[in-house]
Structure 1
């Protein structure tokens, strides 16, 4: 599976989380072209998305081990997957919040700032 295929697979989850959280689509799309907005609904949108793909801890924070395992199952062993893993390992220590929405946002924000090219979040 390629990054675009993963993104397409997540589109229905985007719709579900957008409706559930009430986040504006413009906020979701903003990081693709500019800085990551510091918005409470966007933070909880990302927490919802990670929960739906089952890569969060019981506390709702990003579960990096689960992410790495899912990548091994779903993605080819290529340079892009290696870069994704590298970005996860860079961003995991950047999460300082113990609150699900804030912690997830810190991780996703780092992900976008480190390498937008491998970011697959819809």
Structure 2
């Protein structure tokens, strides 16, 4: 990705983590410029972004995962300096048991190590809602992460939005991964309430009502499946069939 594409792809993650941690643009909008406000909510916002970027495992920052994300997504000219900054700061998190503290001070260290290339998923200025195209663009990072994690190709998942649901385990778990990263999975189950909240937060006004109707119509689908991958797959398929015109998927 280019630097701008990387910024665009982080919009969905920022839009999810801001309300979850009750932070404002004034508090987090200038982190890329070195403005780190030492506030608990800001710290946990940064942890949320790292979690959604798959850099947190078992409530700890995984620097190997962070390096892998840089290799996968950052533009060539940024990879080496950014990885050097990560390497320099990988010991910071060990000083903190709390993931919010560890994330905050790690991010601050990375910024101070290389302000010119500091770029991660909390840098982006957002409008109050997204257009359909912005929603699609902002899901690029989620798609790239979940494709690699579930070993699926573009041929397998590239036309889900057009109703092409291939009944294969990896595809099912890819869909579950997208739902997990968009924070609509709670306790390994799809959350109706979280899904509705995401629509309210992110969807353009002209799509909100119709998408929420589809969620209402499909909310019991997941109850038929104990397995999250299966529940996610059949729920997504139900949402598409209920309203193909407004169905958006990474």
TM-score calculated relative to the size of structure 1: 0.89
Q: Distance in 2 between matches of 1:29 and 1:23?
A: 10
3-state SS in 2 of match to 1:38: coil
Correspondence 1:92 to 2:229: no
Any idea what the Cα deviations from partners look like across 1:67-111, whole Å, max 9, x if unmatched?
A: 111221223443x11000001011111221021100000100111
Cα drift, residue 62 of structure 1: 1.6
Any idea what the Cα deviations from partners look like across 1:23-68, whole Å, max 9, x if unmatched?
A: 1211212334454211111100011111111110212x22110111
Runs of 4+ displaced beyond 3 Å: 30-35
Structure 2: 5+ residue stretches without partners: 1-129
Aligned residues between the structures: 120
Alignment partner, residue 48 of structure 1: 177
Alignment partner, residue 58 of structure 1: 187
Structure 1: 5+ residue stretches without partners: none
Between structure 1 and structure 2, the one with the greater Rg is 2
Correspondence 1:112 to 2:244: no
Alignment partner, residue 17 of structure 1: 146
Root mean square deviation of aligned Cα: 1.5
Q: Whose relative contact order is higher, 1 or 2, with alpha carbons under 8 Å and at least 6 apart?
A: 1
